Amino acid sequence: MFFSRLLVELPALLAGAVTGDSLMGQLAQIGIGFGANSALLKFSRSDEAQADYNGAEIMADAGYNPIELARFFEKLEAKTGRGGSLEQFLSDHPNPGNRIDAISDEIRQMPRRSYTDDETGQFVHIREVVRHLQAPPKAMGSADAPIEPPSREFTSLEVRSYSLRYPDNWQVHRSDHGVAVTIGPRGGVLSDAVGYGIEADYFTGDSSALIRHFQQSNPDMRVTREPRNIEVGGHSGLLNTLQSRSPYGGEEVDVVVSVERPEGLFYLVFIAPKSEFERVQPVFEDVLRSVRFR
């Protein structure tokens, strides 16, 4: 009964504290005594103190100076600040400053011994191992690689059911089944994303389902303009404009062009950072005009 009443009344106490009513007075009214032996706090604080003492003992047994545990809490306090007396009193964990004092007291009661900065020798060893690790290879480019401007000279790409032309200084990455392709400059096609370039493939479903598919794989992607009807290779198509987060930082523009075909919904995605899109847009338009279906 006491704790059920407590659960009902604590929110009102917190609200009263905000509006200026006496928190301690209200606590007393519902019969909670926050003394040194408070049933709500003492076990957690005792457990924390015991854990700190055990930690200091374990560090000493392992050859590490246990004072470093206290210094850790000093760094924690520097990050979080020292809480007020009421905050400390009501907290179910001692604040870092109190833990520093407690650990220091425990260390003074331990048998004296000499410690070195790295008695076990493991720190120096691990530091050398990490220092000599080589960076993993980057599969298809990196976000910090320079992006070469698109050439005004175009070359042809022939795929089983369609063809198009693209800047001759861009690279083509084909899928295993040979229909899906990714085209972009060096540094534009990354190992896990396309930050600058073109994607082409077929999709099972309509254009709305295609947009939802993109958004499911990229939650940051959002539609920024109403769909527009266009013509692609002599066939009716739909153009959607979206934006998402660029792997280079900032916003990215993703223009999705889709056309219903016997093989499924053919689509092209033109991708570039928002800051670059206006400059590369004429190139994307030339690519789109060059699309032909078989």
What DSSP assignment string belongs to 137-179? PPSS--TTSPPPPPPS-EEEEE-SSEEEEEETTSEEEE-TTSS
Same-domain pairing of 213 and 276 = yes
What's the confidence (pLDDT) of residue 176?
75
51 and 163 belong to one structural domain: no
Answer whether residue 97 is part of any domain: yes
CA angle 181, 184, 186 (to 5 degrees): 130
- For residue 221, tell me if it sits in a domain: yes
Q: Are residues 121 and 210 in the same domain?
A: no
Burial class (CB in 10 A: 0-12, 13-18, 19+), 77: middle
Q: What is the CATH number of the domain that holds 256?
A: 3.40.1000.10
Residue 6 three-state SS: helix
- Name the domain count of the chain: 2
Would you say residue 22 lies in a domain? no
Per run of 10 residues, the mean pLDDT along the chain (length 294 residues) is: 40 41 47 46 62 82 79 73 47 62 80 66 73 56 63 93 95 84 91 91 95 91 93 95 92 96 96 92 95 94
CA nearest neighbour of 267 among 195, 194, 209, 189: 209
Looking at the structure, do residues 47 and 117 belong to the same domain, yes or no? Answer: yes
> For residue 41, how far is the Cα from the chain centroid?
36
Backbone region of residue 282 per phi and psi (left: phi > 0; alpha: psi in -120 to 50; beta: other values): alpha
Residues 277 and 273: their CA atoms lie apart, in Å, by: 6
Nearest to 224 by CA among 208, 239, 242: 242
Same domain flag for 175 and 242:
yes
For residue 290, the model assigns a pLDDT of 97
Please give the pLDDT value at position 96.
60
Q: Report yes or no: 25 and 50 within 8 Å, Cβ to Cβ.
A: no
Both 273 and 172 in a single domain?
Answer: yes
Residues 97 and 159 in one domain: no
- 0.85 cut: is pTM over it? no
User: Quick one: 125 and 251 in the same domain?
Assistant: no
Structural domain for 192, as ranges? 154-293
190 and 83 inside one domain? no
Last residue of a domain, one of 131, 146, 169: 131
**Residues 177, 222 within the same domain:** yes
Same domain, 122 and 165: no
